[in-house]
Structure 1
Amino acid sequence: MNNTVEVKEIDLEQERKEILKRYRKLLNIARPYLQDDDAKLIKKAFMLSAEAHKEMRRKSGEPYIYHPIAVAQICVEEIGLGATSIMCALLHDVVEDTEIELTEIEAIFGKNVAKIIDGLTKITGVFEYGSSQQAENFRKMLLTLSEDIRVILIKLADRLHNMRTLGSMPRDKQLKISSETFYLYAPLAHRLGLHAIKSELEDLCLKYTEPEAYKDIAKKLKETKTSRESFIQNFIRPIEKDLNLMGYKHIIKGRPKSIYSIYHKLKKNNTPFEEIYDLFAVRVILDVPTEQEKSACWAVYSMVTDHYKPNPERLKDWISNPKSNGYESLHTTVMSSGRRGRWVEVQVRTTRMDEIAEKGFAAHWKYKGNDTRTNKAFESWLSQIREALDTSDKTQSAVDLVDDIRSSLYNDEIFVYTPKGKLIVLKDGATALDFAFEIHSEVGARCIGAKVNNKLVPLSHKLKTGDIIECMTSAKQKPSEDWLAFVATTKAKARIKDYIKEANKQHVIMGRDMIEHRLKVLGINTLTLEITNQLRAYFNAKDSNDLFYRFGKAYISLDEIKKWKSDREAHERKQATKTIQEPLTNTKNIVKELKKLHGDVKNSDAILIGEDMDRVDYTLAKCCNPIAGDTVFGFVTINEGIKIHRTSCPNATELLSRHGDRVIKALWTSQIKMSFVAHLIIRGTDRMGLMNDVTRVISQELKVNIQNLSIGVKEGIFEGKIALMVQDTQHLETLVQSLEQVDGVIQIERGE
């Protein structure tokens, strides 16, 4: 059999011309941002990058240099960065992917460029099993971010171009990169005020993680485009007329919400596409002098609400209190007139505010002389990141650090005050204790309660915008582990952990000694890193210190170690019967063994669910109960072999983004018939005999075995949860279609 693949002939001269064309286009876009010798330095960076990457190609087959040029173009065109960032974008992969050293970059382009490139270069080497390479790289980027924000801005441009060209990557890489993007980079874009980039990243993530949902919403938006445009034109006509009478220079934009935001609403509210009311957003952008911005925006708001009735609960004033990423705008939701009223979100802002809203931090910095208030708020967030990085040490895993910082990215903000009237910006959900730590670490550590608007409240009291808070302290007070359960800010969590860590050192030392002694009694002479990791996983400890501490405090009995040893031996005996006997802690080894097992066939590096049952140690994950036909992936756990998860599993985004290096391909095989547990949630209007009809359709007509059934009825609406045995997704779809015909059934969705 001939295995040679016909290689398409590459026209190198044509490619060279295309590379130069793209480079010249980049220079033309960048020209307004360049000064002095910037163009010469950019040319040097381009020539160095082109030479370093000349033998490299992307998965699509294109020359690799297309990617750095595109990243540089995003930096200047979509974020508004200058010459240094363009150079760094052109060079961002040379240290990581080629022979060029960071010292060479520094010698040619200086320390500043070298430092940014270093922040963009992934960490290499062997990682402790159970840690996350992605999280370690993210920690490294954050360390540089606290000194130079451009590291993250260039990384976002890099990620955006990777997402735009993700179609040429294999499916497992699409899932890993999309999940990581959704988990870390879209929230970062949001926090840095890059609204357009954040929305596009979310849409592209959805396109690859939930392709059917994405296509369905995109199709419906396309089908309704004409009627939507007609509706928006009618809606803005009276606004346009009054704006002209008021003499304001303006632009009005009408647009649908992003595909992801529509998907999120569909999922959150359990409503069909046709019933989403605030599908439309109209933006009024005024071109007025800075000193007139506030009064002009409120005048336009007043005029809009003269024409359309507003929803008073949906007025958001981010002009008086801008978000800490610099975002300023007035938002209101109004009911349109006509035969069928619809909710429409109206945003009123100025040209300056719009540029900040779209291009975020970079644009905000351009206007920084106009308003120090947002500078302070942004600096406050950056200082929280610095503190979290400073207080994290080798005992805190990068995963925990990333989780702490990620929690500060997507939250809305509240604006509260000290008794002297000083404004403090906190994340939504912050408590009186968060406020105390924001004032000063010692105030937080000694806080025993607070007065909110002159009323005594406990430390866990959640604050809301407008509250005036006064902290009460006592020299006898000490931070407690319980505090971590209700504080919300990164700063408070970091400080509490610091205090607790200091207090708990003795328990950690004692716990380690106790474990080592018990292991020796059981015939294990050394507490190795591998055994520590196995114990961590077995007892569900966050890290080794958490494990030792829990034994030192007697939260876990030493007798449990004997049980761990016996379970480990049982697992090893089971493992010995499998064809793949490599320890299931090395993904590369597993993939290598799978290829040996399957031979030279397509997808030989994938687990074939059904066929490989007796040869590979895998199980179906209980958190999402995959069934044949679902899009799935394999995840290598520390102690429990390989788990098969649905790509739509509630835990998928976290697993794929944190531990992408432990993900392997998994495919269903049609050769073996299997039965799976599927969970359905059925909702509808209650009537006599409804549940009998539902169970008759399942058991008698379709001959499906019901494993479990629970029903609840409230005010005439019923909800039934059913676990049943099905063969695959097609079988389940047939069942759902039959149940939808039962009188009274309104909605059926798949549960976890």
Structure 2
Amino acid sequence: MFLISDLCALLEGYLEPDQVAEIYRAYLFGAEAHEGQKRLSGEPYIYHPLAVARILAEMRMDAPSIIAAILHDVIEDTPTAKEQIAEKFGNEVAELVDGVSKLTHIQFESKAEAQAENFRKMMLAMARDLRVIIIKLADRLHNMRTLEGLRPDKRRRIARETLDIYTPIASRLGMNRLRLELEDLGFAAYYPMRARVLAEAVKKARGNRREIISKIEIALQERLRQEGLEGRVIGREKHLLSLYKKMRSKNLSFNEVMDVYAFRVIVDKVDTCYRVLGAVHNLYKPVPGKFKDYIAIPKANGYQSLHTALFGPYGVPIEVQIRTEEMDKVAEAGIAAHWLYKTGEGGGVSAQARAREWLKGLLEMQQSAGNSLEFLENVKVDLFPDEVYVFTPKGEIMELPRGATAVDFAYDVHTDVGNSCVAVKIDRRLMPLATRLANGQTVEVITAPSARPNPTWLNFVVTAKARANIRNYLKNQKRDEAIGLGRRLLEQALADLEETLLMVPHERVVAALKEMNLASLDDLLEQIGLGNRMAPLVARLLVPLETASPEQEAGSRPLYIKGTEGAVVSFAKCCRPIPGDAIMGFLSTGRGIIIHTQNCKNIADYRKQPEKWITVQWADLIDATFQVDLRVEVTNQRGALATVAAAVADADANIDNVNLEDRDGIHTAINLTVAVRDRVHLARIMRSIRALDKVVKVGRGRG
């Protein structure tokens, strides 16, 4: 069990005594805040923050990061507020703790939305201070190490989230050592059986491979000595998840994947890297097209190395990575290398600069994302880049994900360039905008001021920035179009009242907007354009009819249909709709809105005038009766009508009209017009009639 004394002993190796004392004070504060809380394993909760602090101490993170790690759950899980932390440990620590804390006090529509919003908050906090994500990754690593106490479904959910979000972020920030452990733990929790089988297979295969690995290592070491080059040669083992992914993606058997032998050569300086490359190419033949120079063009996360593939002894494939000590440190620790090795102006700083550049892009993206789920989807796209490098016409290198198109390139240059691109030249030849880019191509974007993004671009763009900007533009365009349509519909409706929008007094517009709880006229026009409000009703609200009789005033009669305040509403006699029926509204000149049932036979005649149809709904509370036609077939006996009338009365309804129809001498059809409250009341009346001996059939009349 890791205790505070162990943490202090670890910290004394690189922090000042007064900083260690401050961390101890933070431990006492955290232990008191979490007093009585336990983890699912049964141990006191404070052990978790201590373990997170230890992971950061092993990275040699600064004192505020360690304090924030110890306190990272106090805002979320205890009554402690951010202000208290700021008062005791300063604003810097309070901001870090707040950045790592989840949004627990806001209600979300779904768990997915809550997770997405938490992620969005974390990324924005991370943009302010990179240490937020380092603390979060350490927190996730300890949670993954202690998953045993959870239910299997919860374990799988957390493992999925780790593999989908946190390992790619660790990779994007170059924190390779932490990423590999997260991947292995995530794989074991998500696919326990596959991980176990694969681990056993690797263990068996390791014995057979030892001799070949040793032989290649000695040969590489000997060649370096002959060339007078200093360097360490290390045999690399593939991790379980990377083995599994390779087997899945390339459809290979375990033996085929394990046939590849991987080595790393670590040297003193960059110049030596290229000399070592020449030496190993002389020793074993290189595989054509498999050489990658990440020293000249580093990866997005600051990773630098030379990669090559060779035909080894007995024809076995060999993968070799060649890098300097500095590059190796950055490759393992990424942005944390800045704190871990105090690398000065070297790789740690460069990795941080690249991380900040990435985060700047994320900030732009989140401003144009519609909601947290869309932002999370965009970031996921951005977290899985397999880079392709292309050139601008001026010779600058642009880095894009594998599969990126000319449109992705245009948006990467600038949002305005993407929004107005009309054509592209690749290596001086005109090519379609959907063309996928390849390494080394020179790309020139041709723009036009009047050009606009095309919705079909969403079918082929791959970068999150392009996708977010196209969606944002289309969203705004949809609003503009809806406002334009709404304006035309409202002007048309006002024209029927011999008015125009300009003639309506400003005070009347403001009052109407207030009544409808809308902020601006554009919002009202958008609602009309989208079909959420009816133009004739809005027109009636803006231009009240002075001639309307008191019975027609909205406030003096019950409201049967939602949103029809101030309008004349009548119910069609052909289908006699009642509350509970599926209904449609038809705008009729001089008669207002006529309500029909959706299966009314007369609707077919009105289909030719779709602009006059409006979607309507029954009001929530209706205190009124509605006439409905019933057709009852009875055996031709004395007293049949009286019996049916009595059954209707027993069901608490009145008969407004009766019509008898002699059908064949045996049966008589009784057509009733009955006053009912709604469909439930009608069903009760029909059940009451159907229960009579004399009744053969009862159904609703259709006019």
Q: Considering the TM-score relative to the shorter chain, is it more than 0.5?
A: yes
Which amino acid in the other structure matches residue 135 of structure 2? I
- 3-state SS of the aligned residue for 2:437? coil
TM-score scaled by length of structure 1: 0.63
**Which residue is 1:95 aligned to?**
75
**Which residue is 1:483 aligned to?**
457
Among 275, 278, 300, which residue is 1:302 paired with? 278
Task: Return closer, same or farther for 1:130/1:283 CA change in 2, 3 Å cut-off.
Answer: closer
Q: Take 2:145 and 2:613, find their aligned partners in 1: how far apart are those partners? A: 50
Contact 1:434 1:492 in 2 (8 A): yes
Asked if 1:330 is matched to 2:306, the reply is: yes
Contact 1:257 1:279 in 2 (8 A): no
Deviation at 1:437, TM superposition (A): 2.1
Asked if 1:149 is matched to 2:130, the reply is: yes
**Which residue is 1:461 aligned to?**
435
Deviation at 1:424, TM superposition (A): 2.1
Deviation at 1:367, TM superposition (A): 3.5
CA deviations on 1:140-164 (whole Å, 9 max, x unpaired) are 1011111111111111111111111
Deviation at 1:117, TM superposition (A): 0.8
Deviation at 1:107, TM superposition (A): 0.7
Deviation at 1:561, TM superposition (A): 11
**Which residue is 2:200 aligned to?**
219
Deviation at 1:440, TM superposition (A): 2.2
**Which residue is 2:324 aligned to?**
350
Task: Return closer, same or farther for 1:65/1:375 CA change in 2, 3 Å cut-off.
Answer: closer
Deviation at 1:558, TM superposition (A): 11
**Quick one: percent identity of the two aligned structures?**
38
- 3-state SS of the aligned residue for 1:119? helix
Q: Take 1:249 and 1:58, find their aligned partners in 2: how far apart are those partners? A: 50
Deviation at 1:139, TM superposition (A): 0.7
* Alignment of structure 1 residues 652-691 onto 2, 5 Å: none
Q: Take 1:224 and 1:281, find their aligned partners in 2: how far apart are those partners? A: 15
Task: Return closer, same or farther for 1:232/1:131 CA change in 2, 3 Å cut-off.
Answer: closer
- 3-state SS of the aligned residue for 2:345? helix
* Two-structure CA RMSD over aligned residues (Å): 3.0
Q: Take 1:130 and 1:201, find their aligned partners in 2: how far apart are those partners? A: 23
Deviation at 1:165, TM superposition (A): 1.0
Q: Take 1:248 and 1:423, find their aligned partners in 2: how far apart are those partners? A: 32
**Which residue is 2:7 aligned to?**
26
Asked if 1:183 is matched to 2:145, the reply is: no
More deviation, 354-363/484-493: 484-493
Contact 2:173 2:301 in 1 (8 A): yes
Contact 2:405 2:433 in 1 (8 A): yes
Deviation at 1:349, TM superposition (A): 0.9
CA deviations on 1:428-462 (whole Å, 9 max, x unpaired) are 22222222222222222221112222111222222
* Alignment of structure 1 residues 213-252 onto 2, 5 Å: 213-252=194-233
Among 146, 150, 154, which residue is 1:169 paired with? 150
Contact 1:431 1:463 in 2 (8 A): yes
CA deviations on 1:640-699 (whole Å, 9 max, x unpaired) are xxxxxxxxxxxxxxxxxxxxxxxxxxxxxxxxxxxxxxxxxxxxxxxxxxxxxxxxxxxx
Q: Take 2:480 and 2:8, find their aligned partners in 1: how far apart are those partners? A: 61
CA deviations on 1:7-48 (whole Å, 9 max, x unpaired) are xxxxxxxxxxx55xx323323333354247321221121111
Which amino acid in the other structure matches residue 202 of structure 1? E
Contact 1:431 1:461 in 2 (8 A): yes
Asked if 1:271 is matched to 2:245, the reply is: no
Which amino acid in the other structure matches residue 382 of structure 1? L
Contact 2:425 2:443 in 1 (8 A): yes
Q: Take 2:244 and 2:395, find their aligned partners in 1: how far apart are those partners? A: 41
More deviation, 404-413/508-517: 508-517
Deviation at 1:562, TM superposition (A): 8.9
**Which residue is 2:604 aligned to?**
none
Asked if 1:139 is matched to 2:120, the reply is: yes
CA deviations on 1:27-83 (whole Å, 9 max, x unpaired) are 333335424732122112111112222322221222222211111121231x44222
CA deviations on 1:351-378 (whole Å, 9 max, x unpaired) are 1111111111121574462368766544
Q: Take 1:526 and 1:198, find their aligned partners in 2: how far apart are those partners? A: 56
> Unpaired runs of 5+ in structure 1?
1-17, 528-556, 566-752
Q: Take 2:156 and 2:33, find their aligned partners in 1: how far apart are those partners? A: 29
Contact 2:406 2:436 in 1 (8 A): yes
Task: Return closer, same or farther for 1:206/1:279 CA change in 2, 3 Å cut-off.
Answer: farther
Q: Take 2:373 and 2:208, find their aligned partners in 1: how far apart are those partners? A: 47
CA deviations on 1:209-234 (whole Å, 9 max, x unpaired) are 21111011100111122222222111
Task: Return closer, same or farther for 1:403/1:39 CA change in 2, 3 Å cut-off.
Answer: same
CA deviations on 1:382-424 (whole Å, 9 max, x unpaired) are 22101012223xxx22111101011111212222222222222
Task: Return closer, same or farther for 1:328/1:278 CA change in 2, 3 Å cut-off.
Answer: farther
Task: Return closer, same or farther for 1:307/1:335 CA change in 2, 3 Å cut-off.
Answer: same
Which amino acid in the other structure matches residue 107 of structure 1? E
Asked if 1:57 is matched to 2:38, the reply is: yes
Q: Take 1:271 and 1:482, find their aligned partners in 2: how far apart are those partners? A: 36
**Which residue is 2:359 aligned to?**
382
Contact 1:327 1:357 in 2 (8 A): yes
Which amino acid in the other structure matches residue 209 of structure 2? R
Contact 1:184 1:406 in 2 (8 A): yes
Contact 2:330 2:351 in 1 (8 A): no
Contact 2:53 2:69 in 1 (8 A): yes
Which amino acid in the other structure matches residue 329 of structure 1? S
Q: Take 2:78 and 2:109, find their aligned partners in 1: how far apart are those partners? A: 26
Task: Return closer, same or farther for 1:61/1:219 CA change in 2, 3 Å cut-off.
Answer: same
Q: Take 2:33 and 2:228, find their aligned partners in 1: how far apart are those partners? A: 56
Q: Take 1:211 and 1:559, find their aligned partners in 2: how far apart are those partners? A: 61
Task: Return closer, same or farther for 1:55/1:325 CA change in 2, 3 Å cut-off.
Answer: same
- 3-state SS of the aligned residue for 2:307? strand
Of the two structures, which has the highest relative contact order with CA contacts closer than 8 Å and spacing of 6 or more?
1
Asked if 1:210 is matched to 2:191, the reply is: yes
Task: Return closer, same or farther for 1:62/1:474 CA change in 2, 3 Å cut-off.
Answer: same
Number of residue pairs the alignment of both structures matches: 505
Task: Return closer, same or farther for 1:269/1:495 CA change in 2, 3 Å cut-off.
Answer: closer
Task: Return closer, same or farther for 1:560/1:226 CA change in 2, 3 Å cut-off.
Answer: farther
- 3-state SS of the aligned residue for 1:281? strand
TM-score scaled by length of structure 2: 0.67
Deviation at 1:477, TM superposition (A): 0.8
Deviation at 1:194, TM superposition (A): 1.2
